[in-house]
Amino acid sequence: EPEVTQTPSHQVTQMGQEVILRCVPISNHLYFYWYRQILGQKVEFLVSFYNNEISEKSEIFDDQFSVERPDGSNFTLKIRSTKLEDSAMYFCATQGSYNSPLHFGNGTRLTVT
């Protein structure tokens, strides 16, 4: 069964550094999302992306965050200057068509020290 692949699985970075989280969506999927989950807490929406542009973003997704699909396959989340409170699991999810279920990757655990 096709999978969403995320790399790296774990990233440790110092406060103020930039990180890029990568996702390879399922090949025929059109809608892409980033969610995050702070340990033990709920799954929080960050941003949705369709047709090479952001559809919606949450208030968490401030100007330190950006997304792009640079080569038509990988979908990336960049955090320009990480803060301690950015430490969380970051999940990429993709969707074949609107209203179909999400398929999640296994996440990137980001630890900011």
Give residues in contact with other proteins (CB under 8 A): 4, 33, 35, 42-45, 48, 50, 55-56, 58, 91, 93, 98-99, 101-107, 109
How far is it, in rounded angstroms, from Cα 42 to Cα 36?
Answer: 8
Residue 95 corresponds to which tokens in the numbers above?
A: 């969707």
Report the residue number, 55 or 73, with the smaller CB distance to other proteins. 55
At 84 the three-state DSSP class reads: helix
Q: How far is the CB of 14 from other proteins (least distance, A)?
A: 23
Report the residue number, 17 or 45, with the smaller CB distance to other proteins. 45
**Element holding 77 (H helix, E strand):** strand 75-79
Residue 68 corresponds to which tokens in the numbers above?
A: 């792009």
Residue 111 corresponds to which tokens in the numbers above?
A: 């630890």
Q: How far is the CB of 30 from other proteins (least distance, A)?
A: 13
Q: How far is the CB of 78 from other proteins (least distance, A)?
A: 20
